[in-house]
Amino acid sequence: MQRLEQRDEVEMLALMLLIRRFEERASQQYQAQKIGGFCHLYIGQEAVVTGAVAAVREDDYIITAYRDHAHALARGTSANACMAELFGKATGCSRGLGGSMHFFDRQNHMYGGHAIVGAHVPLAAGMAFASRYRGEDRVTLCFFGDGAINQGSFHEALNLIALYNLPVVLICENNLFAMGTSVKRSTSLKQIVDRAEGYDIPGEIVDGMNFREVRDKLTEIVGSIRKDPHPAFVEIRTYRYRGHSMSDPASYRTKEELEKYRLDDPITRLRAQLTREGKLTNEQFDQRDKKAKETVIASVKFAESSPELPVEKVYDYVYFNGAVEAGVSPAKRQESAAAAAAATE
Ligand SMILES: Cc1ncc(C[n+]2csc(CCOP(=O)(O)OP(=O)(O)O)c2C)c(N)n1
């Protein structure tokens, strides 16, 4: 299986552009009330997920929290399926049932999209346990925010991950804030990476505004896990340009702080690196950007013209095989679950 890392850096820059343009368009569509519920944008953090997926194989597992649009796009979910999910349409990557916070794409091994802070870290432990149990050499990438590191579920999961020596890369996307609370006000540690030390998990700090640094560090870590399964922790320092969600004016930080990070923009940085090295012309950059914008505009058209989910489908997929209508006995449920499992084997 091809490692995404082997793909051209220009292609990875194009992916960052797609993510950026997708998010900008989502913001606009949210303001036009085409998108309901919550919507958390990833703008500014693109180099984190792009660099991370560039370091793994396509069959490795990815799991993240609710700021998840970029993770699905980076994994290969189409912009159409992502936009349709935001619109709550039946053609969305979670069939329109999940919305912004619950993107899911089993085919591309992207296992959500989870809204409860820290609650998916134990799921990552389970995924990594499963791959080891099955004798596979897959690595799990578990992304979470700085807000997750003080949750009980995070600590319980880290303990088991370390105890069982599971092949997980714990990726803290430290964007300095959990909603409006800065890390300095919520966390006793000077640096988040030190959380890993308490569990004997090796940890590193990575510059999340630099695609190459993220990719190279993660490639090294994933390579070492593949040879000899073990957990690892990376604190990736990044910044989100927008508020926590669409309804947050982000008045808890200064314009100067935001400007400082914007000057270090991950897309501008990779573009400059490639241009300096003679690997990218301005025309080539503009072409990629134009293509990203066109893809995203087409995804809005696709979402708009997609069918609504029929009301009677709303409770589908809540329980396995839908065999849980009132009155169905547990024995009957087990029977139909076994039948469904046999049918999919
Ligand atoms: C257990 C739990 N507590 C509180 C919330 C409300 N909440 C939603 S997002 C958020 C902040 C999380 O911040 P962080 O993990 O740093 O992620 P980021 O928004 O920076 O991506 C909180 C407290 C929640 N979803 N789950």
- Which ligand 1 atom sits nearest the alpha carbon of residue 118? 1
The Cβ of residue 297 has, within 10 Å, a number of other Cβ atoms equal to: 14
CA distance 220 to 228: 13
CATH 3.40.50.10420 for the 4-314 domain, yes or no = no
Domain ranges of the chain: 4-314, 315-345
pLDDT value at residue 67:
98
Counting ligand 1 atoms within 8 A of each CB, the residue from 117, 187, 253 with the most, and so the one to mutate, is 117
CA distance 295 to 162: 42
Residue 333, pLDDT > 70, answer no
Q: What is the DSSP letter of 174?
A: E
- 143, two tokens: 């992304």
Between the CA of 66 and the centroid of ligand 1 the distance, in Å, is 8
> What average pLDDT does range 235-244 have in this prediction?
97
- Which ligand 1 atom sits nearest the alpha carbon of residue 149? 15
- Which ligand 1 atom sits nearest the alpha carbon of residue 245? 19
- 40, two tokens: 């958390």
Residue with CA nearest ligand 1 atom 11: 178
- Which ligand 1 atom sits nearest the alpha carbon of residue 178? 13
Q: Where does ligand 1 bind, in terms of residues with CB under 6 Å?
A: 65, 67, 115-117, 145-148, 175, 177-179, 244
Between the CA of 79 and the centroid of ligand 1 the distance, in Å, is 25
Residue 175 phi/psi, 5-degree rounding, is -100, 20
Between the CA of 118 and the centroid of ligand 1 the distance, in Å, is 8
The Cβ of residue 180 has, within 10 Å, a number of other Cβ atoms equal to: 14
pLDDT band per the 50, 70, 90 thresholds, residue 2:
very low
Dump pLDDT digits (tens) for 185-224: 999 999 999 999 999 999 999 999 999 999 999 999 999 9
Q: Count the alpha carbons within 13 Å of 29 in the hemisphere toward its beta carbon.
A: 27
CB of 336 closer than 8 Å to CB of 343? no
pLDDT band per the 50, 70, 90 thresholds, residue 328:
low
- Which ligand 1 atom sits nearest the alpha carbon of residue 151? 1
CA dihedral 41, 43, 44, 48 (to 10 degrees): 70
> What average pLDDT does range 175-193 have in this prediction?
96
- 331, two tokens: 């024995």
